[in-house]
Amino acid sequence: MAEDLKGTALLFDLDGTLVDTVEDLAAAMNHALSEAGLAAVPTAEVRHLVGHGARRMLMRGYMVSAGREAEAAELDLAMTRFLDHYQANIAVHSRPFDHAIEMIEGFLARGARAAICTNKREQMARLLIETLGVSPLFDAIVGADTTVAAKPDPAPVRFCLEKTGARRAVFIGDSDTDIRAAKAADLPCFVADFGYGPITLAAEAAGRFSHYREASRLIDSALRT
């Protein structure tokens, strides 16, 4: 079986797909809001704000907490506070989802490659993956600021493909943004039901899964087709 998947790749979204990061992201956002004299946003609310980058998450956080849009200067200061706190506390609670790492290791043992394509800033994505001790698994970590555009633009997805050298690949995500990005790059997308969403475009995905043991079967079939 060794090397039967040579020339293929698994491209992963990060937050809500590969790693459950919501508690640490919520803590960083609420730190920034608290420093501005605003009330915290419940973690359950933050869950649905993840996936479009920290700035948009903070913009929505201001709307939820203050009932208004943040002024430009407020948002800039909130971003600095958010990033400083998050960088110092990036993996207090964040952990890979069950069986995700074992699944990746299984595919790599068969010759496949893996990469991360996220709307997190590349520096933060790298720090998280390194802190979790799994960076050797990935040929590339592509963030929102790595290429000319962020997902759902296909540019970061295509850059991941280039870095892996894959001829055939699948994208694994948890949101409409991932589905759109994969579709624009002509890749099948498998979406995680346990992620942060939304997944209103699930009908356009190649499949859905609720656990990485299910995902393994779906991905294996797609890569060998």
- In the predicted model, what is the mean pLDDT of residues 10-28? 96
Q: Which two tokens stand for residue 157?
A: 């997805």
Residue 1 has pLDDT above 60, yes or no: no
- Pair 159, 176: CB distance under 8 Å: no
Amino acid at 77: L
Diameter of the chain by CA atoms?
58
Residue 223 has pLDDT above 90, yes or no: yes
Q: What is the pLDDT of residues 33-43, one digit of tens each?
A: 999 999 999 88
Q: What is the pLDDT of residues 60-92, one digit of tens each?
A: 899 999 999 999 999 999 999 999 999 999 999
pTM value is 0.93
Please report, for residues 41, 99, 114, 182, the alpha-carbon distance to residue 23 in angstroms, rounded to integers and kept in the order given.
11, 20, 25, 27
Please report, for residues 11, 53, 169, the alpha-carbon distance to residue 64 in angstroms, rounded to integers and kept in the order given.
33, 17, 39
At 51 the pLDDT is 65
Q: Using pLDDT thresholds of 50, 70 and 90, give the confidence band for residue 122.
A: very high
Look at 140 and 52; give whichever has higher pLDDT. Answer: 140
Identify whether 13 is a catalytic site residue: yes
Element (DSSP H or E) covering residue 85:
helix 72-88
User: Active-site residue among 13, 24, 176, 220?
Assistant: 13
Q: Residue 220 CA to chain centroid, in angstroms?
A: 21
- E strands within 27-164? 95-96, 113-117, 140-142
How many Cα neighbours within 13 Å face the side chain of 74? Answer: 16
At 48 the pLDDT is 79
Helices 72-88 + 54-66 axis angle, to 10: 110
- In the predicted model, what is the mean pLDDT of residues 12-34? 96
At 107 the pLDDT is 97
- Pair 12, 21: CB distance under 8 Å: no
